[in-house]
Structure 1
Amino acid sequence: MGWTETCAMTERMRFMTAVEQGDEAFAAVCRRFGVSRKTGYKWLERYQAEGVLGLIDRSRAPLSHPEAVPAAIAERCLAVRRAHPTWGPVKVRAWLERQDAEIAWPAASTIGELFDRAGLTVKRRVRRRGPPSSAPLAHCGAANDVWCVDFKGWFRTGDGSRCEPLTLSDAHSRYLLRCQALARNDTEHAWPVLDAAFREFGLPHWLRSDNGPPFASRGAGGLSRLSVMVIKAGVVPERILPGKPQQNGRLERLHLTLLQDTADPPASSLRQQLKRFKDFQRLYNEERPHQALGNDTQRGAGRCADRSHRGRGRQLECLLRTDRTRVHRS
């Protein structure tokens, strides 16, 4: 014979039925169901006031919590997240602290829970990652030591225009020096961007890129027209190993943020897309907190280098005085 299964709601309904029949004294009914008279009267009062719904267990949670986040504070956190969907709790908290340091803002973990409750987060798929093969960025000891350059990859705007973003950033400070849409990814279009950056910020020591055109070629030493022009300007080109984009990981990570904030989906026209790039560059450099910089911004990080560029190319003999291994060093 199996065990007789029951539940609290069933027992309470049986208790109320027995009380309403009036065949036994109230105390006797309580003893038969194994509850005290105080508990019996409590359920009887709820049943008479609310009916069957009164027999459901009520929440024991307190009506108020002294450590709860005020609604106004929570809404400000959510407003920043809605304005910047790619910012995590750490960046949101750092940005709020800079805007109003007198308020005791919640911890980053609490802000993350607010995002979860409001449905503003998407769970990431867990990926198995292998250890990096090298550490090519260890020599970036100061701003303007190494600049990173690359094309984001072309796409079409809503009106069918081709957009080829070129980004140029400082590897140490993460300062975004240039973010421009070019018509093509060749030397004629890329060099004016580099030349303007050299004139505005001075010359870095190295310029890191991948092995694709126009940064490299199959010629002697892998040099291209653009890399020769860079050398004549006084900068050493530095190329990552083929198939190792993680060696230029800081710029690749910037490209992910650029895609999420400006091109997902693309703008309706090329003019609108250019405006997005301009607004993104200002936001990235002046407002967006960066965890690698202690949740600070790069405001003022784009200082001028010690070496200036006047548009005059040096003789190619400088290449002979430069360690050729630097070009392919990892």
Structure 2
Amino acid sequence: MPWKTSSLLEARQHFVRTALRGFKSVAQLCHEARISCKTGFKWLRRFRASGGPGLRDHSRRPQSSPRRTAARWLVAIRGLRRKHASWGGKKIYARLRHQHPRAHLPKPRTITDWLQRFGGKGPRRNKARPGPKRPRPALTIPRVSNEVWTVDFKGWFRTRDGQRVNPLTVRDLFSRFILGIRLLSLEHTPVQQCFQALFLRYGQPKIIRVDHGAPFAGVGPLDLSRLSAWWLRLGIRVEFTRRACPQDNGAHEQMHRIYKADTASPPAATPRAQQRRSTRWANYYNHQRPHEALGQRVPATLYHKSRQHYRGYLRPLQYPRPWQTRRVSSRGFIHWRGRARGIGRAFAGENIGLKRVREGVHEVYFERQLIGVLVDTDPGGMRPVRWGKNPPRTKRP
């Protein structure tokens, strides 16, 4: 390990001063500093040659770069981009080749890389063809607690100090028990952390019902986002309501109207005060307010914690031996048949399984879900699975 101090330069100065006093050998000082003798003698040599400035890091830039793009071409590339903002690397290369037919020009891919560094457009992605359709399952009518949790953002409003808040509400559909109200942003990380806390406290449900808003739904296969894909990894089934059909989550929307009337008309002075008010209201709703759909009982009399405990740690996905496994990159790609193929950012960092259907065609699975079809001859990425027509509203489990 390197120097054990907060300042690397101070550590080098202390090492050199101690070594020059001669009370300890250089090897002993290197052992105490946990560096190699080669490194220790290097800093002594630099200090004797240049003094204190010699202890600073030198530039690691190569002394020569024979294949470096010449400055004249960078100026020309930047100038053409300013004149033609929609041009990519291939068109700029063609124009430069026309202007300089005998010159040694940078390749189109190199020009594209420079355009990205200049802040221009990157390489254009080939659009994936539409994949197979999957019938959308009907919504489940729960018979016990924790069979279905309904989740939604109430809709933003401002506290009296002018700050914007977004209440995330989570409720058990069978008992109407409010599991949590948190004022969060619509980003993935804080919402996931909120659900981790809820799972630790109440356990996991069998189904989570959400609409197509962020961060619950995405634009990838089966409308999955990073959050809903994480739910699938935990063994939780995700039910999406129909688009523009708030009645599919009508009981939850009714709870939102009561919440707004009781806690946000008018709102609290600050977001922190609004959070305290929301927590008190959820406790009142669960333990004091009779509910007509429950025969005028309170939700707390029907709700019990789930027996499905939250594990926290997720093991890497494994698939049957004949299948091939690929890990999805942080940008949502896999390397397949010599090039990058788009799968979806919702599956970043996860393993997917490729099941051979016939020559050149593979079905793509995430967990047990078919998410798309990969055809070797397609110029784009995976053909994502899409939902079919809307089903009947509800079904018995």
Please classify the TM superposition score into its range, dividing by the shorter chain length. Answer: 0.5 to 0.7
Change (3 A) 1:236 1:137: closer
CA distance in 1: counterparts of 2:264 and 2:229, whole angstroms: 33
In structure 2, the partner of 1:311 is 312
1:321 pairs, out of 346, 368, 389, with 368
Return the letter of the residue paired with 1:262. Answer: T
In the TM superposition, residue 319 of structure 1 has moved relative to its aligned partner by 4.8
CA distance in 2: counterparts of 1:273 and 1:241, whole angstroms: 31
- Note if contact 1:168-1:176 (Cα within 8 Å) is conserved in structure 2: yes
In structure 1, the partner of 2:152 is 150
Trace 1:156-175 onto structure 2 (pairs within 5 A). 156-175=158-177
In the TM superposition, residue 138 of structure 1 has moved relative to its aligned partner by 5.2
In structure 1, the partner of 2:182 is 180
CA distance in 1: counterparts of 2:158 and 2:188, whole angstroms: 21
CA distance in 2: counterparts of 1:323 and 1:306, whole angstroms: 28
In the TM superposition, residue 230 of structure 1 has moved relative to its aligned partner by 1.0
In structure 2, the partner of 1:255 is 256
CA distance in 2: counterparts of 1:320 and 1:192, whole angstroms: 22
- TM-score after normalising by structure 1: 0.55
Q: Unmatched 5+ residue regions in structure 2?
A: 1-136, 318-350, 353-364, 372-386
In structure 1, the partner of 2:44 is none
Which runs of at least 4 in structure 1 moved beyond 6 Å after TM superposition? Answer: 323-326
Change (3 A) 1:155 1:197: same
In the TM superposition, residue 302 of structure 1 has moved relative to its aligned partner by 3.3
CA distance in 2: counterparts of 1:274 and 1:201, whole angstroms: 20
CA distance in 1: counterparts of 2:295 and 2:254, whole angstroms: 17
CA distance in 1: counterparts of 2:257 and 2:138, whole angstroms: 20
- Note if contact 1:154-1:165 (Cα within 8 Å) is conserved in structure 2: yes
Computing the radius of gyration from Cα coordinates, the structure with the larger value is: 1
Return the letter of the residue paired with 2:283. Answer: R
- Note if contact 1:234-1:313 (Cα within 8 Å) is conserved in structure 2: no
Change (3 A) 1:197 1:301: farther
Q: How many residues align?
A: 194
CA distance in 1: counterparts of 2:309 and 2:273, whole angstroms: 34
- Note if contact 1:205-1:236 (Cα within 8 Å) is conserved in structure 2: yes
In structure 1, the partner of 2:103 is none
Structure ranking higher in helix proportion = 1
CA distance in 1: counterparts of 2:167 and 2:138, whole angstroms: 24
Q: Secondary structure at the match of 2:218?
A: coil
- Note if contact 2:148-2:207 (Cα within 8 Å) is conserved in structure 1: yes
In structure 2, the partner of 1:298 is 299
CA distance in 2: counterparts of 1:286 and 1:297, whole angstroms: 6
- Note if contact 1:140-1:146 (Cα within 8 Å) is conserved in structure 2: yes
In the TM superposition, residue 139 of structure 1 has moved relative to its aligned partner by 2.5
Post-superposition Cα deviations, 1:155-208, rounded to whole Å, max 9, x if no partner, equal 1100112211000000100000011111x1111111111111111111111100
Trace 1:240-279 onto structure 2 (pairs within 5 A). 240-279=241-280
Return the letter of the residue paired with 2:164. Answer: R
CA distance in 2: counterparts of 1:138 and 1:229, whole angstroms: 21
Q: Secondary structure at the match of 1:299?
A: helix
CA distance in 1: counterparts of 2:221 and 2:139, whole angstroms: 26
In structure 1, the partner of 2:231 is 230
Change (3 A) 1:250 1:289: same
In the TM superposition, residue 320 of structure 1 has moved relative to its aligned partner by 4.4
Change (3 A) 1:138 1:209: closer
- Note if contact 2:232-2:367 (Cα within 8 Å) is conserved in structure 1: no
In structure 2, the partner of 1:193 is 194
Change (3 A) 1:247 1:152: same
Q: Secondary structure at the match of 1:238?
A: strand
- Note if contact 1:201-1:302 (Cα within 8 Å) is conserved in structure 2: no
Structure ranking higher in strand proportion = 2
Q: Secondary structure at the match of 2:282?
A: helix
Change (3 A) 1:163 1:245: same
Trace 1:41-120 onto structure 2 (pairs within 5 A). none
Q: Unmatched 5+ residue regions in structure 1?
A: 1-134
In structure 1, the partner of 2:336 is none
- Note if contact 1:177-1:302 (Cα within 8 Å) is conserved in structure 2: no
- TM-score after normalising by structure 2: 0.46
Change (3 A) 1:241 1:283: same
Q: Secondary structure at the match of 2:166?
A: strand
- Note if contact 2:175-2:300 (Cα within 8 Å) is conserved in structure 1: no
